[in-house]
Structure 1
Amino acid sequence: MLDTSKRTIFSPEHEQFRDTVRRFLEAEFTPYLSKFEDAGKVSREFWRKAGETGLLCPTAPEPYGGLGLDFIYNTVINEELTYAMASDCLTLQTDITLPYIVKYGSEDQKSKWLPRMVSGETISAIAMTEPGAGSDLQGVKTLARRDGDEFVINGSKTYITNGQNADLILVVAKTNPEAGAKGTSIVLVEGDRMGFSRGRKLEKVGQWSADTSELFFNDLRVPAENLLGDENRGFIYLVSELAQERLSISISAQAAAQRAFDEAVKFVKERKAFGEFVFNFQNTRFTLADMKARLQVGWAHIDWAVQQHVDGKLSVEDAAASKYWHTETQWMIVDAAMQLHGGAGYMNEYPIARVWRDARVRRIYGGSSEIMKELVGRSL
């Protein structure tokens, strides 16, 4: 269980909400985790139950079915989901796709989609990455050509979280290819549109309960009113929302690191070697001490970054630095925790194996560590 007694950003209301989240996950998620992983996706029933309990999109405005709460509630959900070893599929909807529709959607788009996203009836995805364009969004090749009152979309996307389940996809496409990044738009595509198809569910190293897919658009037509915000403003929208996305990943990384540490402490206090508990060896204690110190720093920084974001002060550069530090620190702690498990750590029956394999991708998606360093470096 996450210890929040020394944290600085949570009110009693936030902690009451955390208790609700924990009880829900204990009843509706943890007993079914292996089933979700075997299926390669979280069930739609779980999505709907999460919506009923208020675990989806709590920041959505009240007129559209949300609770109108602050991002600290998202933080609580993210921490508890990750500590329970959930994949990042629900946080993608709550932290990443929802804000685009809230901030840039038309009244019709918000009225149609927000209540369904809050309830779990609609599962969303954002389709940015392509086979030839990952962290560099300027390299997007998917085209959305205006044809009268419609857009005609052609192209493909890959590594799309929620790709198999998604009812609504926010597709990043070029509407003016000659303008480079300034010719990028975001178009809403319903999952049942003719011309849209889902490729294979991709087999990943980790995050097994997240349905990650290829998506294809072949002369797919959508009405012009499916354009999100203004035409050719998509790149600006994407950049403006990347701070929250990267903060969300930072939170996940910190919670995963804490779970890895807790698993390591529990294991070494129970396992013996050479007639001694592994915990009693100086190397073990020194390793755990280093991990604990880094976690202490990490939680203090998370609280600072979340409060900065709630206050509207978290810069793109600070968010990039946060994602870089927390995901790299997560990997250091998770790998050290596995090492303390010895051979048992490589066995899937132990939680540390799941935490370890799920952690690796966080250094890549949302912008790789190398890109994060480049962004921070440019700001110096």
Structure 2
Amino acid sequence: MRGIQDALAELRRQAEQIRDNTVRPSSRAAYVNSYCRFVSWVHPNHPNFIPVAFADRVGVTEGLSEAQIRRRIKPLLTRKHDDPPLTFGNLDPEVFETWLLTLRKADGSMLSYSAFNTHRAGLFNIYRDYVQQMGPAMEKELKQFFKGLKLQLATVQACGEGQVKVGKDPLSFELCEFLSSHLLELPGSDAIFARVYLVISWDLMCRSANAFGVRHSHIEWGGDSLRVYFAHMKNDQGGDRPRDPRHVYANPLQPSVCPILALAIYWATSTFDVGNRLFPGSDQYDRFRKSLHRLLEDERVSVELKRRGVNPNDLGTHSMRKGAATYCTSGSTACRSSTAVYLRAGWSLGGVQNTYLRYEAAVDMHVGRTVAGLPTNSHEFAILPPHFVEQDDW
């Protein structure tokens, strides 16, 4: 009997893990942090919305800071259906809206609309985690509030307050080439890693999760290009779309931005892990983020950024993806097909276009050569990768 109960418990655990797959771990962590902050604010300010049993476990919080209350509450957010942290049935949307208006950036300025939207997603997620249904009246009220909030933020920006730009700037091809060349001159494995990721993420136009998810089994050589397959994408969570390769081309005319050379140097100086990953390690995204931050603070790079009128704070890990797509669609008067760029970048075309505008290798090859930096108005656009004669005797 004991064995049957253990087996059922294991099956329930597996079922819960499958349900959790609907939200990426990074997104779930952001949502949990968000609603933990919300519950920690509600506890001292609106205790009538906190169940008595949950409040008893939190204990006396008088005199504690909000951060200290959060440290108490976070371990208690067990997601058990019979242990809710809020009285979901009578939660007033005005409480959540008031809490949103208390949030500020580190410099005291107001959050961006996308940041507010993340907190709204966190509220929906706490309902989902505790198997609760948000009422239509509350959904309608939140929708109305966020519509007004968006208009208010736009008005504030028009008056010269806050940031007009949202997110990071695209990285230009010329600056990408400069950074890649500078990384070649720097010593150490971190510089080699940062350079190969910089160049590969530019050429693939991919999200960080896709780049760091690439395994050697997802890469093959075909014809005159390297072909990279993505097993999972943000806009294809269920894996329903065809597995179409991204074509990556060598650029022997500008070795500093050649992705094939960057990979060759990386493979020649790195070890392979048992997981077969191209970028092995537990948190390679954070490693690159820190490497990019150090690179942008480098004295020579700082001088170049100042000469170009670029603020280093406006560049980030997303700049390569933005820059590559911008370069392909707007970098000349004879640009590549926007449909091909959308498909390579993993963006939805929207509506019926997703059904009728499909991937074709020829146009992805065209995009691949363009994003590799090959000259679009020259016969050298079709240049082959370097070929070496095998020499057995040296």
**Which structure shows the higher strand fraction?**
1
Tell me the TM-score normalized by structure 1. 0.26
Tell me the TM-score normalized by structure 2. 0.26
Q: Which has the larger radius of gyration?
A: 2
